[in-house]
Structure 1
Amino acid sequence: MRGLEHRSRWPERLGRPSVARPRPGSPLVWFHAVSLGEGMAALPVVRHCARLHPGLPILLTTTTLSAFEVIKDLLPDVVIYQFAPLDCPDAIESFIGYWKPSLILLMESELWPNLIMSAAEKGIAVALLNARMSLKSFNRWSVPLGLPLVSDAL
């Protein structure tokens, strides 16, 4: 409403699929970036993945209008690009239920709790790319995810 969402594509933020392309029938890799900087950092990896695996469906999501305006023209034609869903259970469930990613690659430190928990419940692998995390942040995230805490004595 404040000019921060794409007028015709805002339903994607609620987990609805992009009308631009249907979901491919084969396994899909989801690259999730948020802003323009993270999206630009993902581009070389997305392009390399598309070159190495030409038949592999790739989905890239961002959340900002500025990222959308720049990145949409820089992606290989095979990449499906849409806005990421809000990190609320209904939007995430709808999004993951439709796209059914086999792998989710999160750029930098975009740790969205509902996305990560939904992926874990469905057995979907999640990895961070270009990520840096302090020990304090790691331990804070470890508790809700059921991971062991790590001491700085390592």
Structure 2
Amino acid sequence: MSLQIRPARAEDAGLLARWAQAMALETENKILPDAEVLPGIARGIAEPSLARYFVAEQDGVPVGTLMFTFEWSDWRNGLWWWIQSVYVPQEFRRRGVYRALYAHVRALADADAGVCGIRLYVEKDNHAARSTYEALGMQDAHYRIYEQDTRPTGAPKA
């Protein structure tokens, strides 16, 4: 399978929103509301200072996506790139789609002296994803993630 990786475009937002919804339902049994996810992805594509989205294509057909965001590290005087919003439709899994997306992002990171590393978080029971990431050389960073939603009560939550 010959894959091409390209930056996401504004017209990809609808597809990427559907894939984000499918991923959230599949991995966390969460329903992401259209009113939040579609504008969020459209904004992320439009504002590369917030996020960078990529689409993997086979013969011009989208077969997967990956997005990364940025975290400043004062310890390292550099940026961590956080991989998020990874999705490959079931019919294209185990064909190297994520591997190609990751290799693309890794090459971009390696070429940018301001990037100190790549991180991602994974649902703790998603063993298939964890083994994929480990096969690519990623390691468990031994951190736990804590969060607190700051939206008003009643606001949609992801």
Fold in common (TM above 0.5) = no
Q: Which has the higher contact order (CA 8 A, sep 6+)?
A: 1
Q: Whose strand fraction is larger, Structure 1's or Structure 2's?
A: 2
